[in-house]
Structure 1
Amino acid sequence: MAEDAFTEHRPLLFTIAYEMLGSAADAEDVLQESYLRWSAVDPATVEHPRAYLVRLVTRQGLNHMRAVRARREEYVGPWLPEPIRTVPEVSEDAILAESVSMAMLLVLETLNPTERAVFVLHDVFGYTHGEIAASIGKAEATVRQIAHRARRHVHARRRRFEPDSDATRQIVQRFLLAASTGRIQDLMDLLAPDVVQISDGGGKVVAARRPITGRDEVARFVLGVIRTTGSTTRVEPATYNGMPAARFLTGDALDWLVAFEIHDGRITGLYGMRNPDKLRRADAVRPLDRGGL
């Protein structure tokens, strides 16, 4: 049955769509559009359902990427990918964990839609240039050139990445303890000198309108946020985008979500999500898959 094939490959299809779009909501829209097209196809005419579905999702993802670019350009304040809750086991696949990390998704935003699709399909999911050419309707030689250009662009901008682990979660716990007790020196000891903090409020809630850089500035910003959240805020550890994270809740409402980027025992990036539209689906655990690679 068509539904059975789609359900079987859904984690893979969602992962591809999410990495192409950086938005769980947009990825779900792409999957819905793809399913409607798939349901109109006679399964008996499809020799390899997974390959067919990947091509379908890729084409729908490309169409969607081109449609949302103008919306991203008009975004108020810094834009961050919509965070997705992941199981700790995602970190066991280093390529998958890095590919859904906040830093990598921000780098992918700097590619044009075709470059992004080619990079994701080739470097993350391992599809050949010929398979990608069939998916996006371009010559194999052209896809090879696009892949080379996209890879060079990404490698020049990618940040050092360490996936979620017991060690990184302990650093986050120490950081949160220092922040809650106002120990600024302890905070600064856990931050890399070139640490960057990015907040996404989407113009809907209060959030920093520019990235904050440097150990001193980030430490003071964090203490300021902790002071304004009040004693009623509850903090929960979690894993998002293959990274250690913290959820800040008032009652049952999720007010803040912060994902931590860590390298060599220091926090190099903090990605704070406050946009309520992007927090709406933040409780759902998303199964991710690279197709058995």
Structure 2
Amino acid sequence: MAVSHDLRTFKNAAWLGWQMEANWTDPFVFATYSIVKPVAGSLILVFMYLVITGGETQTPFFSYMFIGNAFYMFVAEVLFGVTWVIHDDREHYMTLKQVYIAPIKFYIYVFGRAAIKIAITTVGVLVTLAFGVIWLGVEIDLGAVDWMVFIPALLVGLLTMLIMGLALGGVTFLTAKHGMGINEGIAGVFYVLSGVIFPITVLPEWAQSISYLLPVTYWMEALRRGLSPDLMTSLSGATGLSDFSNLEILLTLALSAVAFLFISSAIFRYADKTARRKGKIDWTTSY
């Protein structure tokens, strides 16, 4: 009974999230926007790469950069999606108190709302990768994909991002105008230090030490190994994680998910308790 109730909460929250994401225009315009936006964002990075390298795209590092940047959309959108649920319901719609006292598990509601972000972002990632393969020569061969690495890595990584987003959502309870800035700052740290667009070996040693502590570092490595094994073989020794086997990468990612589950739960519970005590659950900040 409890499970079916949670599933119904998740489904209804996801439906609500879809209505809020897509109700600003007609389906055709929304579909066009969902396709053009991720491709345009990736092209900004591609043009910078072309200027720096003199137009050279037929190198392993170009594919390394493009694939990492495509999957980074999940990092930014999932973290932002979880925290934005709390921010939007509190500041814009002013319904957070009503949702909070409803007979549902609040975190199930938050994850349901964020699920639609994952769905929309998945379309963007697929479109971006297809664009890269067809027009830019990105090294992805579907026949060579290691699905036993790629699928578990994708699922565990998304779960980790949701868990980390829960912690940032807790911080949003206690912040006024800085919640989104904190969220973007954390995402920016991941972008620079997690091997998203360049191997962590180009970083100074102190920064590499931080990179090895970030779950996104192992997530990006696992996704690339699963999606383009030949590419990662050609870059062996350059990524900083070549000493890890595929199984070790996946285990490290899974352990980081478990660790952040405890950390994020503790942060969220503390923020929840503090917000209740100080009356900040529905306290708008009047931007």
TM range (shorter): under 0.3
Which structure has more RCO (C-alpha within 8 Å, separation ≥ 6)? Answer: 2
TM-score normalised by structure 1 residue count = 0.26
Structure number with the higher helix fraction is 2
TM-score normalised by structure 2 residue count = 0.27
